[in-house]
Amino acid sequence: MAVIPGDGVGPEVVAAQLEVLKATGLSFEFSEYPAGDNHLEKTGQAMPDETIKGAQAAQAVLFGAVGVSAAKVILRLRAELGTYVNLRPSQAFKGVPCIHPQTDIMVVRENTECLYAGIETRLTDDVTTATRIITKTASLRIARHAFEYAKTNGRKKVTAVHKVNVLKITDGMFLDCCRKVAPEFPEIEYEEALVDSVAMRIVQRPEEFDVIVTTNLFGDILSDLAAGVIGGLGLCPSANLGDEHALFEPVHGSAPDIAGQGVVNPSAAIMCGAMMLEHLGEKQAAQKVQNALETCLTQGKTTRDLGGSLSTMEMAQEVIKAMD
């Protein structure tokens, strides 16, 4: 496995994550690679070629967090690894104060195009442009992945999120692709909804959503909104998946204000480890890790952001005890 701890709290949550993975009893070989702000300052490169090559050669990649160099690191990693799916679960847990305890949403986000293609131009001193790219190929494969995820995981509904009343051509193509795929899965309910109305409904009635499939920018925003509903980004893992590679990263950033203090919540990183285990076919181990983490959350054995008093590594040790 390739491990890229990054900056800020990244190395701390990754260290906790690795302790839990080692405690599963499975045999892993972890190879660590540099990337991020510190490496950029020292060498002039945010991510060296050795890191890209190590990630491409690995069975899976575990990523921590980076700061201002994120676009040069995580966006490039996703592109180099061909990970066109971004899975972002937002699930409320017992014992964690939140707005809506019934929330359990999986956002399936297209990961390669939209405004995140980074095609920006300064036309004049007063005018800039950004080009939104939406393709049939990417839209069909993300729609199909969303329905296949729903079917495999016992989900009942897929909601395609768009802004076709304004973005008639680009989101028109995206919706056409979703509509083409939906009939292949008659057991899954299909609906379409405007992104602004979905944002309001997530705040008011998140139980109306099961699986959301959407374009890159909308998926990024809605998944962070859903995180706020369940108690914060510290509880949100993510998986970047492609045909050949997989990259797992907690959704939270590098949080430099608390870096090095040992207080960051490792839950998202630990859940990333569970998602990696499931991706590798180790479903029993994945469930063991997930169940142990949920036990700790329920019992209040958490870091201070969730009302507990444990350090980052102390929480990881509690998860390991719960696994045993």
Catalytic residue set: 116, 163, 196, 220, 224
> Distance between CA 268 and CA 97 in Å, rounded?
16
| Contact assessment for residue 217 and residue 116, using Cβ atoms and an 8 Å cutoff | yes
> How many helical (H) and strand (E) elements, i.e. helices and strands, does the chain have?
11, 12
Vertex 71, ends 263 and 193: CA angle to 5°?
Answer: 90
β-sheet bridge partners, residue 158: 190, 211
Q: At what angle do helices 216-230 and 195-204 cross, to 10 degrees?
A: 10
Q: Which two tokens stand for residue 25?
A: 């009893």
> Distance between CA 85 and CA 241 in Å, rounded?
5
Please name the residue ranges forming H helices in the chain.
10-22, 37-43, 49-57, 70-81, 136-152, 170-181, 195-204, 216-230, 267-279, 283-298, 312-323
The residue written with tokens 């839209």 in the block is 139
| Contact assessment for residue 156 and residue 189, using Cβ atoms and an 8 Å cutoff | yes
> Distance between CA 139 and CA 134 in Å, rounded?
7
| Contact assessment for residue 73 and residue 35, using Cβ atoms and an 8 Å cutoff | yes
306 CB neighbour count, 10 Å cutoff: 22
